[in-house]
Structure 1
């Protein structure tokens, strides 16, 4: 889901008078989110498109927090979809909402809150001009960094306005920060513990009293803003922490997780990966199993986690390897098992290993990849009788594959097994139709036989010989 989406035309009302005549009813931000969420749920619609594996755990908690009107902090390791979940909140906002034309804070025409807007509303009455703001403009996102300042989030005195002759205590001298500018909208702060503690202190009034303090004087603004944040739990001890008073002001603290089911892991890869070549489903399954094996391995630092970006980047790398190979040999770009190892070669740096595993990284990755391949072969090809194929290879037949062997050359080099339809059965199980997919399917079956110690395998550079 994009933040902008496809917008329908904005309503036509151009003044406060026309807005009143249209029957428009003002709602607070929390009422708006609650009402739209309940409406979606009652209609059986999915309020969270593109999120997989969270429907029975995280999303019910998230929905209850929205219905309760709570500010929310999501805790979880990297790559668990925290930011994506926060961004989907945009879809629960009204598509168009009226604001006072030219308002710095996007105030509702019925309820101006700044001095400037109050003066204009009083002097112009029903002729006060309004404009319509799309919901994509009501979501602001900030990546917390140690150099983030109070001025960035809350605001500061604008020296240029003071130089124009206004007094220092005049509210009109203030340059508002991100949170006040998100009035009647959602502000998301990613990696909240990275904010310096003094900056977190500056947020306390915003979170509870809904006013802001700048340079020693209080600006009373009844802000209507939903504050949501994300954090890695380990950040509490590694890089920083969320101070206790600020944690207390979040009404909901929700723990996220990686997809629990293999099908959800695969769905995430298919949804997010931008593939430049055909990657068969069986290879995506291997990559998903490989990622899940890394998350379960005692050799990997699980406090850091293995992000969904690992498997997504892996699928894109496999596709890129297939496109390169296909271009060199002048054949359609279809990924095969020979391309999967390329993902391991370049993605190892995305995994944090436990102390004491130095020097064993490649060995660990290779072992877990072989485990993923073996599990996939058992799952997909269970029940097929490979006896004739094994006998043919034991009788001296050899099958050569590798980066320099085309799909057609690989298929032509397979041992002939009389009237047996073993190759067709393998391809049917894996949904392989053209030469590239058929070569990949049979290559995977041969690797499965090798991992099951049914046949031998010799690797010489980029060439692999089963025999």
Structure 2
């Protein structure tokens, strides 16, 4: 269909954005589909609140610390829009052919009738996102007088001299504003009428444009005091204020890391679990500034760094397969420390805290897997003259060949406990078993200059 007449003949009707979102959400829920793909750990807390807000037709503001999936949640909203929607061709505000809102569009339809041309807009084009910054202006969000249009001969009082901003141009769609408190208060004031009364006031103009737009926003709770605040009248305009959180369950934390990390090498499940446990321990530590939070990006960056370390070793030492091991995880902590904000008074103890929490994470992840295994033969083999050497430049084959010979099947048992099959996976599993002996003070460990010796 390419004309208004064809659209009418097909029986099309105009449906506001909020009704469109509501109908599509209800359809997915009734069909048992997941309306929020890729969101883990929020199913029983945040998601139901967001769904109730959509069904109620409310504008939404998400409050939560960094790295809690606020932006990802906002970017999932367009999936609830119709895949395609008709718009008037060349309409600056993407007006629906059956519901024009500007005088220019109404005159055009009156003149051309059923021959008025239309185009189709994909739902991906109906989502606009703006990162709020202190230099954002009213013109950016709402609009301003365009001097070029005035110079063309239009009267200064002509509404067509206005160049519309992001919110009016998001008509028939969703506009998301990230870090809303960073907007200057006078800019927030300019949003009030757009959200409630559908007025656009620009330099003395007042246009009654019934904009069809859903406004959503995100903010960090500490921003109310550190960088800015959401003014009370604007908070009142948002029908729903939803608090987000980090994943409550370990499995959800691991799922987020697996989903978001771009890995260049194989990272075994146990290494992922250690990273997840390490991240969660940082969030619970009194030494870490919990107002700033420990972002999910910390664990994601950790997984990517661990994989990169494994790939680098494989490239330098000629390994056929790059598999991450514990030594790579320890090296990754060196570059991750800067992503954590510590409390005042912890100066000088940052690396000590990180290493302590990492050791605990390793112990928790390994404990259940090696329970019942007999490490006695290995402890006896490390008699003071025999050592196990590993390090970030020690290949999996070199590590395995350097292990002391045992009369028991301990090495195979460790491999089975960690579902290891290849040399890289076996080396990672046995290395973790040896580290567990050190953590339980059965053997000693000496680390330095990229090399670790157990004995």
Please, what TM-score do these two structures have when normalized by structure 1? 0.96
Distance 1:243 1:404 in 2: 55
Aligned residue in 2 for 1:265? 253
Distance 1:394 1:197 in 2: 70
Alignment of 1:199-348 (within 5 A): 199-331=187-319, 332-348=321-337
The question of 1:350 aligning with 2:351 is answered no
**Alignment gaps of 5+ in structure 1:** 1-12
Deviation at 1:429, TM superposition (A): 1.1
Aligned residue in 2 for 1:9? none
The question of 1:372 aligning with 2:369 is answered no
Deviation at 1:417, TM superposition (A): 1.6
C-alpha contact 1:394 1:455 (8 A) present in aligned 2: no
SS at match of 2:174: strand
The question of 1:436 aligning with 2:424 is answered yes
Distance 2:77 2:182 in 1: 23
Distance 1:345 1:100 in 2: 56
Which range moved further: 392-401 or 409-418?
392-401
C-alpha RMSD over aligned residues: 0.9
Distance 1:111 1:280 in 2: 55
Distance 1:380 1:110 in 2: 64
SS at match of 1:233: coil
Aligned residue in 2 for 1:74? 62
C-alpha contact 1:115 1:172 (8 A) present in aligned 2: no
Aligned residue in 2 for 1:413? 402
Deviation at 1:111, TM superposition (A): 1.1
Aligned residue in 1 for 2:163? 175
Q: Deviations over 1:220-242 (max 9, x none)?
A: 10001000000000000000000
Deviating beyond 2 angstroms after TM superposition, the runs of 4 or more aligned structure 1 residues are: 394-397
SS at match of 1:229: strand
The question of 1:163 aligning with 2:154 is answered no
Aligned residue in 2 for 1:84? 72
SS at match of 2:367: helix
Aligned residue in 2 for 1:40? 28
Which range moved further: 67-76 or 393-402?
393-402
C-alpha contact 1:334 1:437 (8 A) present in aligned 2: yes
C-alpha contact 1:262 1:289 (8 A) present in aligned 2: yes
Deviation at 1:198, TM superposition (A): 0.2
Distance 2:155 2:371 in 1: 81
Distance 1:437 1:25 in 2: 59
